[in-house]
A = this chain, B = another copy of it.
Amino acid sequence: MQPFRCLNHQIERYKILNTYSKNRIGTDFKSPAIPGHTSVARIAEAWYIVAEAKKLRQTPLAVTLLDTPLAIFRDRYGKVGALLDRCPHRNVPLSLGAIKGDHLQCAYHGWEFDRTGACQFVPALMSESRSPGRRVAAFPSREQDGFIWVYATPDIEPTSEPFHFPLLKEKNYTSVRQEVQAAASIHAVAENALDVPHTAYLHGGLFRSAKTKRNEIEVVIRRGHDRVEAEYIGEPRPSGLAGRLLAPGGRKPLADGKVTHFDRFILPSIVQVEYRLGETSHICLTGALTPVSDFYTRLFSVISFRLPLPGWLVALLLRPIAMHIFQQDADMLKRQTATIAHFSGEQYMSTEIDVLGPQIYRLLKQTERGEKTPAAEPFTRTVRMLV
């Protein structure tokens, strides 16, 4: 076993961030820099969610994106801005400041900045306040689908727009939002969210059970240029508590047809789990992952559904179940990160039923290297597994 050498960087950085701003989101984590091989990929030319829109009011928020501290704010006209969270004058966080009209005002000496990062006012100064040297880096930002999105590269014009959540405005659909966090890489969180075999163990009884008779099914894996999906064919109706909620009526075949189940990963950081049970039931979880740091990830999810039960009732029941499941996942992912850190890197041993994780890894790494077209052609492949 190799001792690991410099686990300290990120942990210390985050400790400092903790000191830095009590209200910074994602401050209670300890996420190590790991020197050996890991599935971390840093994709900076991309949009990520940094907050629910309704949480950004007249007080700036401190958030971290790819290790970069940002001050996000909403000016008095409602427009959203995202600046590097460091005043160029004496390097204190701008997120401690206040909104003055369409400016963000630093709490220390009162310097004011607009949404482009330009300094517009230096109190007490008799000469010109505006000066290129007093500029702060500005990150493109959008308010869309009820979320604040920030482009992770500052001072450029993005060539893309944020991902659109599906079904949010669809008739007869109800949507539930939830933000959760995990001390793990984007890759680990995405693989976990889209992995079927662990559900019978880590979530035993809630989803699938390790104890009931198992069915052999077919999984079709399709990889495209910006995504990979797994379609589960022949899957029985989900058992367990979650299954009963989604499809009241038990494990017997549905009257009106088959179970359709897709799991999808879409670059740079979207996960999607979609179930259709006959004509009446459709449920789709879409999650946008945000890399706070290499080993700390936020997941902003929307669960949209149309089910035989009333939407308000499902929404009521769904949230605690989803949170319980996610907490089990977050606990396990944290221990996975800790083990990887202790051993200075990952030593994973995959099998053919790890259908999406290795594919997600390739997509992330190709994008991190700047490859617009994947090295390998899109493909379709079929494996069989027991569920």
Write out the residue numbers on chain B whose beta carbons fall within 8 Å of the beta carbon of A92. Answer: 332, 335-336, 339
Residue from A16, A67, A387 whose CB has the most chain B CB atoms within 10 Å: A16
Find chain B residues with CB under 8 A from A267 CB: none
* Docked-complex contact B16 and A96, CB < 8 angstroms: no
Copies in the complex: 3
Task: Collect the chain B residues with CB atoms within 8 Å of residue A133's CB.
Answer: 349
For window 121-138 of A, CB contacts with B under 8 Å fall at 122-127, 133-134
Check A342–B17 contact: CB distance below 8 A: yes
- Given the interface pairs A91-B346, A91-B347, A348-B90, the reply to whether A384 lies near B9 with Cβ below 8 Å is no
Interface residue? A238 (CB, 8 A)? no
Majority DSSP secondary structure for residues of A touching B: loop
Of B30, B107, B342, the residue contacting A332 (CB under 8 A) is B107
Contacts of A201 in B (CB 8 A): 106-110, 123
A386 within 8 A of B: yes
CB distance from A7 to the nearest CB of B (A): 4
Contact with B along A116-160 (1 / 0, CB 8 A): 000000111111000001100000000000000000000000000
B residues less than 8 Å from A339 (CB atoms):
20, 69, 85-86, 91-93
A88 to chain B: which residues have CB within 8 Å?
347-349
Q: Report A38-86 residues with CB < 8 Å from chain B CB.
A: 67-69, 84-86
Interface string of A2-37 (1 = CB under 8 A from B): 011111110111011101110000000010100000
A346-387 interface (Cβ within 8 A of B): 346-353, 384-387
- A197-B124 in contact given A92-B335, A338-B17 (Cβ < 8 Å): yes
Closest to A343 in B: B86
CB-nearest residue of chain B relative to A129? Answer: B351
B110 lies within 8 A of A200 (CB): yes
Q: A313 on the interface (CB 8 Å rule)?
A: no
Minimum CB distance partner of A351 in chain B: B125
Please, how many angstroms separate the alpha-carbon atoms of A88 and B343 in the complex? 12
Distance in angstroms between the alpha carbons of A96 and B331 in the assembled complex: 11
Residues of B within 8 A of A13 (CB): 3-4, 7, 341-342
Closest B residue to A214 by beta carbon equals B124
A216 sits at the interface (CB 8 A): yes
Residues of B within 8 A of A127 (CB): 351-352
- Measured in the bound complex, the distance between the Cα atoms of B338 and A201 in whole Å is 42
Q: Which residues of chain B are near A21, meaning CB under 8 Å?
A: 335
> Which of these, B4, B69, B109, contacts A197 with CB under 8 Å?
B109
Across the interface, A89 reaches (CB within 8 A) one of B69, B84, B349, namely: B349
User: In this assembly, does A103 line the interface, its C-beta being within 8 Å of a C-beta of chain B?
Assistant: no
Q: Is A202 an interface residue (CB 8 A)?
A: yes
Extra contacts, 14 of them, besides A13-B341, A108-B201 (Cβ < 8 A), are A1-B67, A7-B13, A11-B15, A21-B335, A69-B342, A88-B348, A89-B349, A90-B336, A91-B346, A107-B202, A108-B202, A109-B198, A124-B353, A133-B349
10 contacts between A and B (CB under 8 A): A6-B9, A7-B12, A69-B342, A88-B347, A89-B350, A91-B340, A92-B339, A110-B197, A125-B351, A126-B384
Q: Which 3 A-B pairs have the closest CB atoms?
A: A20-B338, A8-B8, A110-B201
